[in-house]
Amino acid sequence: MTHKPIQPADWPEPKGYANGILATNGTLYVGGQIGWDETGRFAPGGFIGQMEQALKNIRAVVEAAGGTPEDIVRLTWYVTDKRDYMDNQRAVGEVYRRVLGRHFPAMAMVVVAGLVEDEAVVEIEATAVIG
């Protein structure tokens, strides 16, 4: 097998997709994570609360693969409201550092009309290199 699904142990098994795929070369692809916890409940606090939970979800997948936040090499953010992000820059930085530390991989941000889950306001996907 050239890849292995990665799933945090305390999360329910997803239907029809994988939260992470670890390739034999150590590259981990983390599927888009939104601001809900392992029970499917959205974090309170609007954009900042959902962003924090999405980053925690990414960290959980990376750690389930044996990595650390420092192994993350790319983040792609999808946001439904650019102003929500821009108006909360200080809080964004504080939350980011609290969850992922002072490690800043390559990033892109895309403003989208909507996400599949109606309540979601941010989705973040990641790539990490483990080992």
Query: What is the C-alpha separation between 81 and 98, in angstroms, rounded?
Result: 23
Domains: count for the chain: 1
Q: What angle do CA 114, 18, 10 make, to 5 degrees?
A: 105
* Domain, as residue range, for 52: 3-11+19-117+124-129
pLDDT, tens only, 64-76: 999 999 999 999 9
Write down the pLDDT at residue 15.
81
pLDDT, tens only, 24-56: 999 999 999 999 999 999 999 999 999 999 999
At position 112, the amino acid (one-letter code) is V
Does residue 1 surpass a pLDDT of 70? Answer: no
What CATH number has the domain bearing residue 71? Answer: 3.30.1330.40
Q: Determine the distance from the C-alpha atom of residue 113 to the mean position of all C-alpha atoms in its chain, rounded to a whole number.
A: 19
pLDDT, tens only, 59-104: 999 999 999 999 999 999 999 999 999 999 999 999 999 999 999 9
Query: What is the C-alpha separation between 38 and 6, in angstroms, rounded?
Result: 14
Check: CB of residue 11 under 8 Å from CB of residue 38: yes
Cβ-based neighbour number of residue 78 at 10 Å: 20
Write down the pLDDT at residue 84.
95
Query: What is the C-alpha separation between 114 and 116, in angstroms, rounded?
Result: 7
> With bands split at pLDDT 50, 70 and 90, how would you rate the model's confidence at 124?
very high
Check: CB of residue 51 under 8 Å from CB of residue 35: yes
Query: What is the C-alpha separation between 112 and 73, in angstroms, rounded?
Result: 23
**pTM value surpassing 0.85:** yes
Question: In the predicted model, what is the mean pLDDT of residues 111-131?
Answer: 97
What single-letter DSSP state applies at residue 9? T
Average pLDDT, the chain: 96
